[in-house]
Amino acid sequence: GENVEQHPSTLSVQEGDSAVIKCTYSDSASNYFPWYKQELGKGPQLIIDIRSNVGEKKDQRIAVTLNKTAKHFSLHITETQPEDSAVYFCAASGGNTPLVFGKGTRLSVIA
Amino acid sequence: KAGVTQTPRYLIKTRGQQVTLSCSPISGHRSVSWYQQTPGQGLQFLFEYFSETQRNKGNFPGRFSGRQFSNSRSEMNVSTLELGDSALYLCASSFPRTDSPLHFGNGTRLTVT
């Protein structure tokens, strides 16, 4: 089955700097790659997703890139703000299989 | 549009007991998935229901079961609770396509003592 590895597990950045989180997946049939943000006491919230027919997608300060050949995808957050502090999860799915999540990255933005 | 609603938010049970958790999906969403979240294992898939039928099942023992009703609401049940079942149980709803985004509720925090 699918296996998703996520790095780093923790990340601290200064406010205004960029943050990058990387994930790799194992199943070449996977074609959907969402990213979720989870704040304390809440469930994960979708922040951006990308499908395998697209190499990059951007939404304001957030962007995701996908390299299907290398089976990795990344989340980029620019101009980080304290409210970006949370746990971020990548995930992958394909065909009729459920979403498989990475173990998460705890991002701390230091003011 | 109301989000995914999970009840109760918190539960404390004793080993050996059973528990039932409830999930009301977003209106129009007919697929409901359940995940277990623990600090060590992250988010692990339990099962998915669509049109009252289990469509996918994760690698959990038979003590974990679920069902879906005709109005798409779902319940999951854990019997003979073990200490290791302590976790945040998350329900997510979506349209029934694998590339359809999952929308999560805020979960039920289960503590087994």
Q: Annotate B91-110 with DSSP letters as a single string.
A: EEEE-SSTTSPPEE---EEE
User: For residue B1, what is the enclosing H or E element?
Assistant: none
pLDDT band at residue B16 under the 50/70/90 scheme:
very high
- The arithmetic mean of pLDDT across residues A73-98, rounded, is 94
pLDDT band at residue A52 under the 50/70/90 scheme:
confident
Using CB atoms within 10 A of its CB, is residue B16 exposed (0-12), middle (13-18) or buried (19+)? exposed
Please name the member of A41, A46, A93 whose beta carbon is closest to the beta carbon of B98.
A93
Residue in the structure block whose two tokens are 């299907």: A68
- The arithmetic mean of pLDDT across residues A54-73, rounded, is 95
Is a pLDDT exceeding 80 seen at residue B97?
Answer: no
Is a pLDDT exceeding 80 seen at residue B1?
Answer: no
Nearest CA in chain A to B43: A101
Interface test with B, best of A30, A42, A99, A105 (most B CBs within 10 A): A99
CB contact under 8 Å between A98 and B42, yes or no, is: no
